[in-house]
Amino acid sequence: MTSENSPEAPMPEELPEAAVRPPRRFGLVWVIPLVALLVGLWLAFKAIHEAGPTITITFKSAEGLEAGKTRIKYKDVVIGKVNAIRLSEDLTKVTVTADLQKEMEDYLTENTRFWVVRARVAAGEVSGLSTLFSGAYIGFEPGKTGAHTTRFVGLEAPPSVTIDTPGRQYTLRAKNLGSLDVGSPVYYRQIKVGQVIGYAMTPDGSAVDIKIFIQAPQDEQVRRNTRFWEASGLNVTLDTAGVRINTESLMSLLIGGISFEIPTSEPPDKPATEEYLFTLYESRDQIEEPVYTQRNYMLAYFDESVRGLNKGAPVEFSGIKVGEVVDVRLEFDEKKLAFRIPVLMAIEPERIAVLGNAKINRAELIAKLVAKGLRAQLRTGVLLTGQLYVNLSMFPDAAPQQLALSGSYPVIPTVPGATEEITAGIASFVGRLEKLPMEEIGGDLKASLHQIRKLVGSEDTVAAIAALRRSLVELQQFTATLNDTSVPQMNAALEQLRQVLARTESAVASADGLMSGNTALTYDLQQMMQELAKAGRAISVLADYLQRHPEALVFGKGEPTP
């Protein structure tokens, strides 16, 4: 082994120097992380750029909703998803947080509506059956107008009409809601053309405003003079035409409904706008009555029972309705210690056509009519139900009275009703019967019957009846003999007498030819012939009378004596 310090070792050559290169700024190993970073940044940017709005919806309950699964749909297209559900601070509501697609942001206004779609049975309709298998989802209706917002209060029930359904909304004012509800049908000529979409109390609480929706093109049938009425239940009418039962449909019988049409007595008016307020009538019969704006109030005090006289009962004059009963009360007079019943009536003067153009003072006119015999009377309208109405009529024989005032109301005098008169007559008759000495009359009648029974059962009466029976038998036998013997003989004698008369007339005729002239003999013969003619007529009359009354031979002329 040689050593490097050995003198024998050759000198080594110069060592090569390393070439120094500058380091690379970017290595290939960083390409993949860089590409991944760029892709991530792009995806993040895209996600942020395409992310839709996040909204919150408040519901009373989260029944059927589930975070991360429940979807938001519009026309069965998914437009968002629920990502969180939490309770409100006061624990009375739930707040649902959901993400929507970006294109929905322009439709998030204060008029946008959300609701939970579940299986429902309401107003006779079944909806949301698909949710039995797929689960509940949140329905969405865009709001095209209004201020932008991301906080909403969800509806507790689906809206009856969506914003994209063609048609119009109208408002009906009624005294009460009755059997109507959201979803109740609206009919036109018994065809369903709309439904009730909402209702609310008026600000003063005196009525109910009902919102309805009429689908196009039937909404063109709603005019300014269109009348709406409740078509709920059965409409039963009992009049001279018989019993009539009417209903729009079985559905309206169960859940109520509304119908409308234009009265037959009026031509169609202009189309109604959505701001026009209609009146909802209680029945179809009321829509045919004209609308009167003037009402004059009058009082009538009745002393008789007013059972069957209700508020709204008609006030008639000669069978024509001129108003209605507004109020029926009971008053007590401390001074007289008596009761009386004031009936307030609303008279509609527009129902009465006044001839002439002269202006009439209402108070003076009523005073003149009362002085002439105008009176109010209770009458029975329906015998089966006992309903009463007020009849105004002229009673010329009534006691004279002057018009009185009770406050600002004129008071119409009254006369007893027909029922009251009948009752008074029966009471008077019964009173007279009570005054009769019934015991004395009964005793006398009993004594008379005893005498009659005694007379009929006596021996003299029996003997007289037997003698009368024998006389009748003998009379029948005599009459039979007279018919069989005497009458034929009389007929033969009369026939011979007629023959003699005929011969006499022939002889007279011959003698008249021989003795014509004005001699005394002719005159005597004429007198004799006249006498003979008279005698012949008398005999003929006698024969006819005997033929019709053969009993005259026994009893003589005239009625036979008993």
Last residue of a domain, which of 126, 153, 180? 153
In this structure, the answer to whether residues 73 and 55 fall within a common structural domain is yes
Contact 189, 226 (CB under 8 A): no
Residue 291 has pLDDT above 50, yes or no: yes
283 with 322, same domain: the answer is: no
Res 209: pLDDT: 94
In this prediction, residue 171 carries a pLDDT of 93
Mean pLDDT of the chain: 77
| Closest by Cα among 67, 156, 162, 55 to 108 | 55
409/475 same-domain check: no
- Alpha-carbon distances of 449 from 114, 439, 442, 461, rounded to whole Å: 100, 15, 11, 16
Neighbours of 561 (CB within 10 A): 6
Number of domains in the chain: 4
Angle at 97 between CA 93 and CA 98, to 5 degrees: 135
Q: What gap in Å lies between CA 499 and CA 228, rounded to an integer? A: 101
The Cα 87–Cα 65 span in angstroms is: 13
Express each pLDDT in 522-534 by its tens digit: 666 677 777 777 7
If one compares 371 and 33, the residue with the highest pLDDT of the two is 371
Residue 422 and residue 323 share a domain: yes
The answer to whether residue 2 sits within a structural domain is: no
The whole-angstrom separation of Cα 556 and Cα 398 is 66
DSSP-assigned letter for residue 351: G
pLDDT for 98 equals 92
Average pLDDT for 431-442: 73
Q: Helix axis angle, 520-548 relative to 487-514, nearest 10°?
A: 160
Confirm whether pTM is higher than 0.85: no
Whether residues 194 and 146 fall in one domain? no
Whether the Cβ atoms of residue 251 and residue 190 lie closer than 8 Å to each other: no
Would 10 be classed as within a structural domain? no
Q: Which range marks the domain in which residue 492 is found?
A: 469-555
Whether 161 is in a domain gets the answer: no
H helix and E strand count, the chain: 11, 27
Do 146 and 171 share a domain, yes or no? no
Give the domain-ending residue among 234, 263, 287.
287
Q: Which residue, chain included where needed, has tokens 């009846």?
A: 465
